[in-house]
Structure 1
């Protein structure tokens, strides 16, 4: 069983609008509502592999009820702390020229009592899981060090902790040395406090994090693939070019595919191939966390991985 922490989930509203531009009125019949947030995207991908997953975090109001209903409909287990504030919404407008406009609500405010309830629930849930994965932003009312605290608690129970967040939450979380991190270039630069432009600088940063005690470091490079550091080796992953429908959720899909692969005890390089194929397959879908498994298997054949000692 995998425990997914989604502290700031959302209802994602997707609109496909031809020739979209600001200041105009548009009508569309092509739209979709889905439960969103990075953690929920990860959970949906793991669920596609038919692996057991439990999602926790905070939900409130009618939006929260909708998310629970949708998770029930796809058989994803969940135990959320119910809050007084309304769960946030996110609007994404996709235009036929490939551009995307996003309006992201900041999220609800979490009270002290609600935070205490979450810590109590977390202590209960981690007893029965093998892996904990925390993905996404931290809503108002929660301390930036919350992921650091959750990592420490999980490690006390000998659980592997996957962390995918940004800003201060990532910086403080890294202090507790999670099992896995997956920063992109911007997140890496924030953590380091300086720019990293060349491959050599990116590789140097990855080696630094790996040698500091983080078991698996994946640096996401978007369309250029990723660089992975593990057990003294560096893996350069290059992905094929595909027709991109929506890039949101690609990193979450990669994380979900990688976790599912580890649960199945796949050889490490094969797990990376599965993960990269999941991320690439997801950009071909309009919905984050959606992976066509047949498409993913075809993409796997076109993933190129080079391995070297560092």
Structure 2
């Protein structure tokens, strides 16, 4: 069983439109409402692949109730921590060329008691979990050190932690040595405070995160593939993508595939790449099922293309 923690979940509505024209009345060609939040998406991807998962998240108001109902409908066990504020609702606008415009709400402010209740609930429900995946931004009311406290408590209980966050929250948590961190290229550049223009520069940034405490780094480089930097060295993986429809949840799907495949080594990296490549070809925040995956198309190697220029360099 893989337990996920999403401190700031959401309801995500996605509209597909022919083109985004500011100031005009736009008619959507399709729309959908999905559960949102990075940890939520990890649970959804795991459930879609037939793995047992439990989602711990703060829930408040009608939006929180709707979110729990949607997750239950996908076969996900939800452990909700009641909060006084309203669970947020986000909007995404997707264009045919893959351009995605997102409007993310702030979300509720959690009290000190609600913060502690969330930490305690994770501890109570983590028995038997193979991994605890802690994902996403922190809501108002939670200090940047909140994830660090969660990692410390989880390790004290013997659990393995995968952390997908950024900024001060990531920096603070590194000192507690999370078992794997999963930044994208932009988050990786932010963490080390310098631009990344090549795969080699991304590798050096990942190695720096390991030196600062991360036991392994799974880095998504967008269209350029993914890196896994751990105690055994550096591994690179990629897969062809016919057309990008939406990148919402693609990184979360990658983390789900990685953890479901054991969370270590080239086989887990290959699963991460397969899940990420499948996710970007699906609409909205839809997560891939096993029939969407093409494992044979995935390439992994220890011969890392250090000099390759990133198609989307981060400044």
State the TM-score bracket (shorter-chain normalisation). over 0.9
Q: What is the deviation of 1:131?
A: 1.1
Instruction: Tell me what 2:81 maps to.
Output: 81
1-structure distance, mates of 2:171, 2:184: 13
Q: Does residue 18 of the first structure (1) align with residue 15 of the second (2)?
A: no
2-structure distance, mates of 1:96, 1:145: 40
Q: Does residue 110 of the first structure (1) align with residue 110 of the second (2)?
A: yes
Gaps of at least 5 residues in structure 2 are 305-315
2-structure distance, mates of 1:204, 1:108: 37
| 1:44-84 C-alpha deviation (Å, 9 max, x unpaired) | 11112222111112111100000111111111011111111
Q: Does residue 35 of the first structure (1) align with residue 45 of the second (2)?
A: no
Q: What is the deviation of 1:230?
A: 2.0
2-structure distance, mates of 1:20, 1:308: 41
Aligned residues of 1:130 and 1:159 also touching (Cα < 8 A) = yes
1-structure distance, mates of 2:66, 2:40: 13
Paired residues for 1:63-102 under 5 Å: 63-102=63-102
Q: Does residue 45 of the first structure (1) align with residue 40 of the second (2)?
A: no
Paired residues for 1:1-310 under 5 Å: 1-28=1-28, 30-262=30-262, 268-288=265-285, 290-296=287-293, 299-308=294-303
The TM-score normalised by the length of structure 1 is 0.93
In the alignment of these two chains, the number of paired residues is 305
Q: What is the deviation of 1:271?
A: 2.1
1-structure distance, mates of 2:172, 2:78: 27
2-structure distance, mates of 1:14, 1:199: 32
SS of structure 1 residue aligned to 2:197 = coil
Q: What is the deviation of 1:211?
A: 4.7
Q: What is the deviation of 1:206?
A: 1.9
The TM-score normalised by the length of structure 2 is 0.91
SS of structure 2 residue aligned to 1:80 = strand
2-structure distance, mates of 1:144, 1:212: 17
Q: What is the deviation of 1:195?
A: 2.4
Gaps of at least 5 residues in structure 1 are none
| 1:175-201 C-alpha deviation (Å, 9 max, x unpaired) | 211000111222122221222333332
Q: CA RMSD in A?
A: 1.9
| 1:10-63 C-alpha deviation (Å, 9 max, x unpaired) | 000011112331101123351111111111110011112222111112111100
Q: What is the deviation of 1:132?
A: 0.6
SS of structure 2 residue aligned to 1:127 = coil
2-structure distance, mates of 1:288, 1:98: 13
| 1:109-147 C-alpha deviation (Å, 9 max, x unpaired) | 111221122222122112332211001110001111111
After the TM superposition, which parts of structure 1 deviate over 6 Å for at least 4 consecutive aligned residues? none
Q: What is the deviation of 1:220?
A: 1.3
